[in-house]
Amino acid sequence: MVSNARRHFSRWPISAGIPLLRRRTASSAHRRFGAVVESPVDAFNRPVHRGDFGLRIPPSGRATKEFFAAWREALPRARKYPVAVRNYVMSKLTYISGVRAAELCQVQLGDVHWENGQWGRFLVHDKGAGGSGPRDREAFLFEEGRALLWWYVEEVRGEFPDDPCDPRAPLFPSERLARSLTGMEGLLAPPVVPDTFRRALKMASHEHLRGPVSELFPHLLRHACATHNYEAGMPLWDVQVLLGHVWASTTVGYLATAKGDPERASLESSRRAVRRLSTEA
């Protein structure tokens, strides 16, 4: 025999208990601390990707292109030219390749494989998903990224105080090096840290970015990479591979602001299928 209480709770959806939990916890917090918060259930205990996240709106393709053009034009006037170029190349490469800030900071010179693919690729240490641990993947340079990175390695990378011929050296090194170590043979500089990269991009966007989006950070450039490539006709699967996502549903979340017309895309897909079948017949 099933008890009345068990029958009652079996008909009670779990989600219905969340408001009750919030009220009870808020009441306890108010009695104990004399303060009321918006939600007593902290963000760290929420299920993964279930938080109240705002919509990340990247700048338009035109605004992004003008931003990078203005930034590059200002590089010769920078007080620390090698550092300014490093920050610019990291930002542009993030937009082109869609890599994460932490991934890009850890790339070594030996991770760049100019001969792979059509324009070369570079190895990044992906964070992994679902607790599976980090895994390596190849990030894409494309034609523009290859030319940009080649220029940086040939003309600017050697200006930093470490050994640019060592394949273990970071592709984007920190300029901060102890004076006592400067000039030592075989020295490897530490890689630039993501926070430094974020601050540099934020300052550059305040100075050179125009339009409704007034501030950039590396992850927003990753969203811009996905959105602009998808709008230009890159299939969803290819965008997923570009970003290194395991699940297509994750990639779809990056395309929330993409300007697409599902009905038109469906009609065009049907027309392509008809043309293909007609040709085969």
Domains and CATH numbers, the chain: 4-45 (no CATH), 61-254 (1.10.443.10)
Q: What is the share, in percent, of the chain residues with pLDDT greater than 90?
A: 53
Task: Return the higher-pLDDT residue of 202 and 3.
Answer: 202
Residue 133 has pLDDT above 60, yes or no: no
Residue 154 has pLDDT above 60, yes or no: yes
Rg (CA), the chain: 25
Low-confidence winner among 73-87, 182-196, 243-257 (lowest mean pLDDT): 182-196
Amino acid at residue number 100:
R
Residue 51 has pLDDT above 50, yes or no: no
59: Cβ contacts below 8 Å, ≥ 6 apart? 67, 209, 211, 212, 213, 216, 224
Q: How far is CA 212 from the centre of its chain?
A: 21
Q: Where are the alpha helices (DSSP H) in 138-193?
A: 142-155
Amino acid at residue number 151:
W
What pLDDT sits at residue 50? Answer: 46
Residue 185 has pLDDT above 80, yes or no: no
Question: Residue 248 belongs to what H/E stretch?
Answer: helix 248-254
What pLDDT sits at residue 46? Answer: 43
170 by DSSP, 3-state: which? Answer: strand
What pLDDT sits at residue 132? Answer: 53
What pLDDT sits at residue 112? Answer: 98
CA distance 201 to 216: 6
Cα dihedral 207, 211, 214, 215 sign: negative
What pLDDT sits at residue 53? Answer: 46
Residue 49 has pLDDT above 90, yes or no: no
* Six token digits for residue 273: 């299928």
- Residue 116: pLDDT band with limits 50, 70, 90: very high
Top mean-pLDDT range of 8-17, 95-104, 226-235: 95-104
What pLDDT sits at residue 225? Answer: 96
